[in-house]
Amino acid sequence: MTSSLDSSLLLFSPDDEVLEQVKVDIGFQNLSQDWDSYMDPVEHPLKEHQLSELEPAPAEAKEEPAPPAQKQVSVQPVANSVPVLDGWPGVHQFQVTVRRRPEQAGRQLPYVYSADGAKLYTDMMVAVPFSFTYSGVADPSALRIRALPIYRESHHIQTPVRRCAIHREPQDPSNDTGHMMHVVRADHHHASYHVEQERCSVTVPLEAPEPGTDHYQVLFKFACMNTCVGGINRRRLMLVLTLEERASGRTLGRQAVEVKVCRCPHRDWRADEKRKGSEQAQPKASKRPRREPSPPPPSNGQQQLYVVADDPAMYRYLVEARESLLRYRRSVLAEQAPPAPLSRQDTAPVKPEYR
């Protein structure tokens, strides 16, 4: 009882002498160690209790309201809905042409290419060799070539190019390999056919040129005629050829070739060349050509012509020639004139004489 009372008094006594006396009365051998072990279970909980009562409670931190989260709007690049027909070689100098194969004896090729107007005349389902040249490509397998048919006129350019109903029939010979909706076909083992926004296209991987050549060649076929009703329907057809990245689809180059699919390519080519030649030879006439002033009418009703002389000597020579020709004309006319008829003179009747 005494020890517990002394301990309670010890906690609240600030005098050091009292503390030492209490330690002696209790009988600690080692004052420093025994006193600490004795007072630890008693002193520390009270200290914590007293400190908790004496010390002011820490103010609670007020949580500020978090600002409203802003809605993240991801901006995606918008693709141009109007196809582009302008040629663009790009950084790889992408170019396209149609190679002319050697003709066989007595036979014409089923296609003609006009380099001046970049226009191809071909029959249906004929393999036409398109040659592609490029430069600065380290890995050709990372790129591809896309062939997309597009109408040339601005009022038809948004219309997808479709085949006619007759050529879409499964029984048609052009549909033996499938892809009945595609006008353009690629004669390539790794060709891929795509339909994006109702537009049909075909892609082939880009390959390195063969040894001894500087171009990469791909065979394309056209599975519908320009005159097919319900299909192309006599609209001008363009084939847009683009160089793209296979992973992202980014365009690196573009070229366009006009195509006319017809039964007689050479006939249509000659007709177009003749028409272009006549248009270049003859200048365009104005709507209201200026009328030259007509010379005054001659007095005797004959047509009169005029010659302009810019030299006095030439003028005198022309006047003498005119006078000489007039004299010659009068002499010829006088010889050819018929003789004048004799005029009849009235005479008095002769009276008979009677003897």
Which residues make up each annotated binding site for Zn(2+)?
164, 167, 224, 228
Q: Which residues are annotated as a binding site?
A: 164, 167, 224, 228
Range 23-52 burial, b when 16+ CB lie within 10 A, else e? beeeebeeeeeebeeeeeeeeeeeeeeeee
Q: Please name the residue that has the structure tokens 């007039």.
A: 326
Q: For residues 120 and 241, what is the distance between their CA atoms, to the nearest angstrom?
A: 14
Determine the residue type at 292.
Answer: E
Q: For residues 210 and 216, what is the distance between their CA atoms, to the nearest angstrom?
A: 7
Radius of gyration of the chain (CA): 56
Q: For residues 160 and 198, what is the distance between their CA atoms, to the nearest angstrom?
A: 6
Residues in the chain, total: 355
CA distances from 343 to 126, 338, 340, 346 (A): 93, 15, 9, 10
The DSSP-derived string for 152-214 is: SSTTTTTSPP---TTTTSTTSGGGTTS-TT-SEEE--TT-EEEEETTEEEEEEE--PPPTT-S
Q: For residues 183 and 231, what is the distance between their CA atoms, to the nearest angstrom?
A: 10
Q: How many CA atoms lie within 13 A of 354 on its CB side?
A: 0
Structure tokens at 32: 């420093």
Q: For residues 262 and 225, what is the distance between their CA atoms, to the nearest angstrom?
A: 6
Q: For residues 262 and 272, what is the distance between their CA atoms, to the nearest angstrom?
A: 13
Among left, alpha and beta (phi > 0; psi -120 to 50; other), residue 211 is: beta
Pairing outcome for strands 184-186 and 251-261: unpaired
